[in-house]
Structure formats: C-alpha cells, structure tokens
Chains A and B, each alone.
Chain A
Amino acid sequence: GQQVMQIPQYQHVQEGEDFTTYCNSSTTLSNIQWYKQRPGGHPVFLIQLVKSGEVKKQKRLTFQFGEAKKNSSLHITATQTTDVGTYFCAPRKVYNQGGKLIFGQGTELSVKP
C-alpha cells in the first residue's frame, strides 16, 4: 500500500518561532493535500499541490512540493497561538483516485505564548 511518513509527530514552539512539518512518500505522488485540525475540531482543507517543485503561500504558511513529487512540507513563519492544532498531509498516488484519501499521521503543534 501507499506508505507515507509525516514528521515530526509533535512540535512545541515558542510564539514567534518558525515551524515545519514534512510529509514523505515512498512512491511518486500525483498531488498532495494539507489539512489543519484545531483541538476539538474537525479537519479543514488548506491547500492542494500538484506540480513538481510547486510552492504556494497563504499568509505565514508556505507549502512546498518536492521536485521528485515524493515529499512535501508545510512551513509556518513566526507562529502564533492561533496556529495550534494538528497538521495532516494527504498524499494522492494517482490523479482523482475517486473518493479514497489516506492521511498522514499528523504533526501536532503547540505554541507557548
């Protein structure tokens, strides 16, 4: 089956520090999605990356898709307490593989004010 590893599992940062989570696949991907889940909440779709080497930004969040389309990262600049939550990647092996969507284990981010 599709193997994906998301690291780190946990990250504790001081407010204002940067944060990065990585998603690594053993196989080439078609695209990858990222989601955020606040404590006690539900996953919320953030973004989808499709092209090799693609970089997308959403305010302080930068998403990157590797050149080989086997890994991806989410970087948050100058974290804030509102960034607290778990960030999941959801890699897709083939384009539009129907409804199937597997999630990485997630990286739980805590931010100390």
Chain B
Amino acid sequence: EAQVTQNPRYLITVTGKKLTVTCSQNMNHEYMSWYRQDPGLGLRQIYYSMNVEVTDKGDVPEGYKVSRKEKRNFPLILESPSPNQTSLYFCASRTGGDYGYTFGSGTRLTVV
C-alpha cells in the first residue's frame, strides 16, 4: 500500500532532550516535507526536500533540522526541544511535476 509512515504517533518528552521523528515513504517520491499544525495557525511548513541531499527551509524552520540521505526517508530532528514546539507534526511526500502531497498520519509531540 502506498503510504507515508511517521513514527512515533505520540511522544512526550522533556525540554532539551534531543529527539527524532522518522518519516518514510514507499512511493519513490522526489519531494518530501514537514509541517506543524497548531490551533488557530493552520498548517505551517517547517522544511522540505526536493531530492536526496537537497533541502530548504519552509516558513518556521527555527529549532528544527532535517536530512535526506536516502530518497525514502526524511527525519525531523529537534536538537533541544522546547515547550513551544509542542504541536501536531505531519510528514508529506509527492512526486515530481506539480501534484498534491500525500500526508502521513501525524505525530503528536508534547514537550514539558
């Protein structure tokens, strides 16, 4: 089944403890992206990648890192999480051209 898989689905962590949210897609998509969703603020793009080793900042990249060493994986790294990064995170991927994104099921992160 074609899908975008994120792990974990839920995570509670403490301030300053490094964490990684994994994202993997099995559709051979070139483009991948991370979004965060907060009440009243909608979906905001954190980082995106156009292919292996090619990444760029979205609208809210501060406090996040990404890497794209393989086409299928696009992990989101929080080196030193803070409470304002408590949010619902979505990974998404799409093929080349100008098509819609396929989203993962989301990761609900709480930083205390």
Contacts and interface: CB of A to CB of B under 8 A. Distances in A.
Q: Decide whether A and B are members of one complex.
A: yes
Interface of A: 31, 33, 35, 41-48, 88, 92, 95-96, 98-106
Q: 9 shortest A-B CB distances, which residue pairs?
A: A45-B100, A99-B48, A42-B103, A103-B43, A99-B31, A105-B42, A96-B98, A43-B103, A98-B50
A44 B4 CA distance: 12
Interface in B23-48: 31-33, 35, 41-45, 48
Nearest to A105: B42
A83 to B, nearest CB: 19
A106 B39 CA distance: 11
Most central of B59, B94, B100, B105 by chain A CB within 10 Å: B100
Contacts of A103: 35, 42-44
A45 B102 CA distance: 7
Chain B contact surface mostly:
strand
B75 interface: no
9 contacts: A43-B43, A48-B98, A96-B98, A98-B31, A98-B48, A100-B45, A102-B45, A104-B42, A106-B43
Contacts of A42: 90, 103-106
B98 A95 contact: yes
Contacts of A44: 103
